[in-house]
Structure 1
Amino acid sequence: MTTTDPTVRALTVYTTVAAALSARIFLTPGTSGDYVIFLEPWYRHLSAHGGFRALADPGFSDYNVPYLYLLAALTYLPLPALAGIKWLSVLFDLALAYYTFRIVTRLRPVPSRAGFGAAAVVLFLPTVVTNSGWWGQCDAVYAAFLVGGVHHVLGRRPWWACAFFGIALAFKFQAVFLFPFLLVLVLVGRVPWRSLLAVPGAYLALDVPALLLGADPWRLLTVYARQTDTYQLLSLQAPSVYEFVSVPGDTGPVRTAGVLAAGVLVSLLTGLAVWSLRRGRSGAPDAAPGAPGLTDTHVVLLAACSAIVVPFLLPSMHERYFYVADVLSVVAAFVLPRRLWYVPVLVQLASFGSYLKCNSAELAPYLSMPAHSALMLLALVAVLRTTVRELSRGPQAPAEAGRPAVSPTAAAPART
């Protein structure tokens, strides 16, 4: 029986999933401050006010209604609040692993076990395990739709990709971290402009059930505007550039300047990516028509860059806001293992270190947020450098990604 035997593969998958779920079961009894202060009271409010009927006035929560739909559904099940909330997020951990498997398998069909390895790594990432299993947070929900959107981009399904981005945005505002990546795809023609209609379409469609229950439309449309005014600190234990900055007193002007500076820098990086791609030769083996020089490897690298750059530059970020970067850094490392194998290690050291700084009173005195930010900066530089090099290579698919580089001339059919 070989390693490619279907029975062996199935046994490996089941064993991996069982081990991942066991790790989460071990953490399930733990309660975090966020659960006690936010999640449990929201659940109790929904349960006491008729489940879905309580969404006629969603003001009891500062989250958008799609996640509240899921919490409301839990109130009808014979599950304790703590277990239900956590295992809801665990289901999306599995969805994250699934889309990771699909992306890596697409780009690295040889060896075939690369996709399984990437999915397993994602399932056992310390940030992914603790986010759902201990913290009870729902970052896996919006992240699964974002990674699923990347998968649909690779599959040439732009409408599905944009719909997934819209669903992710409806769950969490942090979905915007990948919007610069989406903009690059639009500007180079990989995603048609009209497909962007699916983003607000999906977002607004998820508001419809709450509207039918009697929710205030204005409150639904402005939920994220209220969120952005909640926190005034430059950094909330996030491994970002603002851990190197100390501002006494009012941080408002610095936060405003930070948002503007981040917008300018992200715009410059977006323009640089588009310019580099348009300089590339058309006819790549895996390039879409109208997307000169854009390969599937470029797509993954650009997504990983966007997931790291945006939260690193923006002020008032939380420690959990690098969650998508945690996952996409693994995907990028499995696509280009010889060049990026260490990037997920740096990202995890920075990201999970900030988790511990925030939640572990015993370890917090020994952890340095500027050090974690320096690690994230190293990861960012590594991904940016590799992305620039890949863009400068033109449309040839790298041999490291599981297939030999093929020139457009060699790949073209002979004229008759």
Structure 2
Amino acid sequence: MLDFRLKLALCVIIASLWRWDVWGFQSQDFLDFLQPWYDFIRSHGGVGALGHSFYNYNPTYTYLLVLWHYLFPSFSALDTIKSLGLVLDGLGCVVVYYWVARLRPWSQAGWNPWGLAAAVVLWLNPTVLLNSAYWGQCDMGYTAAVLAGLYGLSQGHQRWGLVALTLGLALKLQTAFTLPLVLVLLLQGQLRWRHLGWVPLTYGLTLVPAALAGRSWGSLVSVYWQQFNTYDRLTLNAPSIYQWFPQADYDRFVTLGLLLTGAVTFTLVGLLSRRFRCFTPLQLVQVALGFNLLLPWLLPKMHDRYLFTADVLSVVLAFGQPGYGGVALVTVAVSLGSYAPYLLGREVVPLGVLALVLGVLVVEVWRRIFEGHDPVSILMGLASDRG
């Protein structure tokens, strides 16, 4: 066990040194968005900046920047962004540890070695390293909230689970990839409809500080709609099915893509609620991974980083359930390949090829979810019930 812990410690040191080595890198996103945002916060006295619509995120992330401004007033914009990402990555590692420890209990006293290994692998994960330490992004923030919410739901803490999921949604809209699972839990009766009131309450509370600072409620509640309409492209380096469609037919394929995604999603929700009367914690993570792979593959207007939650969920499954190591490797590889056009300025692997690989992965993960249960038979059962 001592040798095992030394190896883990060495991995942590290596990943930490790499983060330190790339600390000074300034991505284009940092130069165009994050640095100006933080400079605006400093020039407007911290909290006073919240009344202005100088950023295109939900205000929750901006609250963290304001908090860092007060906690570390000597930090530069780059130090602030990178250190915040470091803390969020650490939080994600903690949540992953507890998830794996729940899925794969350890009979002996002390730390769960599977959970420790999963947390260290996540710290080493190239997409996690590049996302925060290199790129300066904060995708671990909403992902950690999603995993914490799922963990709460798996423990029977419905209110706190929904609060955590809503905090994730208040950080990034990509949290919505997990929301079909919530609908399944409602239909199963595993989650009570009356607890849904915590969602608008929590989300509304995240907007209050910005509203009190002077920003209009209209602009606050329309942030995600404005984000959706920012880029008129079917895909922004995402390994989605739109790598195979002509970009000139943008309006047509956006509409068709949304309809297709809705049809597939609601079909799967019906199948899952029909076949699984109650999810085990393992099934909860499996289905969450399934939706976080499927929706970025089917939806138009997806970005290169939108498989991030799938990356983390796949690590949880790789250590929490034997046989998922290959799924995790392919998930991270596809996600990493989609980073290349932005970070390197060229495709290391053609995005069309990555889209094909992701499609095969989506089918494989959903096959495992329904393993032993024929989806066609379930669909026929649904149809006969409605008839």
The 1:206/1:82 distance shift into structure 2, 3 A limit, reads: same
Letter paired with 1:99: V
* CA deviation map 1:74-96 (0-9, x unaligned): 33321111021111011111111
Structure 2, unpaired ranges of 5+: 375-387
TM-score by length of 1: 0.84
1:206 aligned counterpart, secondary structure: helix
Q: Which residue of 1 aligns with 2:252?
A: 253
Distance in 1 separating the partners of 2:372 and 2:193: 25
* CA–CA separation in structure 2 for the residues paired with 1:391 and 1:383: 14
Residues 25, 134 of structure 2: 8 Å contact kept:
yes
Taking the aligned partners of 2:4 and 2:351, their CA distance within structure 1 comes to 41
Residue 331 (structure 1) shift: 1.3
Offset at residue 19 of structure 1 (A) = 3.5
Matched, 1:329 2:288: no
Superposed counterparts of 1:22-171, under 5 Å: 22-57=17-52, 59-76=53-70, 77=72, 78-110=74-106, 112-171=112-171
* Distance in 2 separating the partners of 1:166 and 1:383: 26
Which of 334, 338, 343 is the aligned partner of 2:327?
343
Structure 1 position 137, deviation (Å)? 0.5
> For the residues of structure 1 that align with 2:166 and 2:347, how far apart are their CA atoms?
40
Q: In the alignment, is the contact (CA less than 8 A) between 1:277 and 1:391 conserved in 2?
A: no
Partner secondary structure for residue 30 of structure 1: coil
Structure 1 gaps, min length 5: 279-290, 393-416
Distance 1:211 1:18 in 2: 43
Deviation at 1:62, TM superposition (A): 0.6
C-alpha distance after superposition, 1:234-255 (max 9, x if no partner): 110001111122242x401210
Q: Distance in 2 between matches of 1:182 and 1:161?
A: 10
Give the aligned residue type for 1:376. L
TM-score normalised by the chain length of structure 2: 0.91
From 315, 322, 331, the equivalent of 2:300 is 315
**Cα displacement string for residues 302-356 of structure 1 (whole angstroms, at most 9, x for unaligned residues):** 1111111111110000000110011111112223222x22011111111100101
Identity %: 34
Asked whether the equivalents of residues 298 and 391 of structure 1 are also in contact (C-alpha less than 8 Å), the reply is no
Which residue of 2 is the match for residue 268 of structure 1? 267
Aligned length: 368
**Matches for 1:180-199 after TM superposition, within 5 Å:** 180-199=180-199
CA root-mean-square deviation:
1.8
Read off the aligned partner of 1:380 and give its amino acid letter: V
Structure 1 contact 46–52 (Cα < 8 Å) conserved? yes
The one-letter amino acid paired with 1:341 is G
Q: Which amino acid aligns with 1:276?
A: R
Displacement after TM superposition at 1:357 (Å): 2.0
For residues 45 and 317 of structure 1, the distance between their equivalents in structure 2, rounded to whole angstroms, comes to: 28
Matched, 1:388 2:346: no
User: What is the distance in 2 between the residues matched to 1:358 and 1:160?
Assistant: 37
Match for residue 344 of structure 2 among 357, 360, 384: 360
Q: In the TM superposition, what is the alpha-carbon distance from 1:15 to its structure 2 partner?
A: 4.9
User: Counterpart amino acid of 1:357?
Assistant: P
Corresponding residue SS for 2:63: helix
SS at match of 1:386: helix
**1:142 touches 1:172 (CA, 8 Å); kept in 2?**
yes
Shift in CA distance, 195/21, structure 1 to aligned 2, threshold 3 Å: farther
